[in-house]
Amino acid sequence: MILLLQYTLIFTSVLMLVALGGCFSEHSGVINIGLEGIMVFGALGGALVMKYLPASTAPALVFIIVTLAAMLTGVLYSLLLAVAAINFKADQTLVGTAMNLLGTAAATVIVKAINTAADSSNVSSEIMYVEAKKAFVISPGTEFSWFMVLAVVLLIASYVILYKTKFGLRLMACGEHPQAADSVGINVLKMRYAGVMISGLLGGLGGLVYITAGVSAWKFENGVAGFGFLALAVMIFGAWKPQRIALAALLFGLFRSLSNVYTGFQFLKNLNLPSTVYNMLPYIISLVVLALFSKNSAAPKAEGIPYDKGMR
């Protein structure tokens, strides 16, 4: 039961962070389908820093530096979407899809190149970061992580920013009625850039949390197993509201964790279901959720629509 709780919390943290990132982007008016690719690049930035930090670095410093590296990498990668969608008015769905494809492929090539340069016989896409991971664990011997605490803090911060600050209200205005927002002096393009970059920050952090969930190494050719798409389902199921997103992430995180721990529950073992069924559960649920709720979901009215100052 403790193991189920551990995995549920870590997967909930991942989904919640990434879904909150998507929430900021879409509230600004930009659909971010590229969360999967952003997660991969955030994971890459954090993993590389973990790999090369001196072993003598204080655990608290490791946590701070690695977290900032993942966030910064995610922000930088999200700028591809911002420039293409905001400046060039490209189709946001196509750009996001391209970012997902590019993210895993580019990260794999980068890691293989680094490993090959270090050892001509090593062409693996795997990064080892065993020792550095100790800085993220609250209690030795468990997977309870400081990232879980950070996820809760960022959840509260997201709610406050969106609903209690001038910035958040302006951001949401740009996703609902951008022309009206512009008419009262709000710079819609800047606000949309801010929304996309916040999604990159949270998505990159989510990627880092994912690769530190009980593994000592990560092969980037595996990507993040569709967690970016699960986060989109969480965001839709949560109606673009932080508090509901948290509950939706908890539900999806529970089903995702079952694939890791189902062997520890006798009643689940007695069902004699193959392990692939448990691996498929969160994705099946995401399809059901999207089928039932996406049509009637109250998405920001101007999301996905390039802003044209001349339109009224």
107-139 pLDDT, tens per residue? 999 999 988 887 766 777 788 776 677 788 887
Would you state the structure tokens that stand for residue 119, as one six-digit string?
Answer: 């050892």
Would you state the structure tokens that stand for residue 5, as one six-digit string?
Answer: 């709780």
0.85 surpassed by pTM: yes
pLDDT confidence of residue 140: 72
Distance CA 242, CA 239 (A): 9
Domains and CATH numbers, the chain: 2-293 (1.10.3470)
Average pLDDT over residues 194-210: 97
Please count the other Cβ atoms lying within 10 Å of the Cβ belonging to residue 130: 11
Contact 232, 23 (CB under 8 A): no
Would you state the structure tokens that stand for residue 103, as one six-digit string?
Answer: 């993210």
160-183 pLDDT, tens per residue? 999 999 999 999 999 999 999 999
259-312 pLDDT, tens per residue? 777 666 666 667 777 778 888 888 888 888 888 877 777 889 999 999 987 666
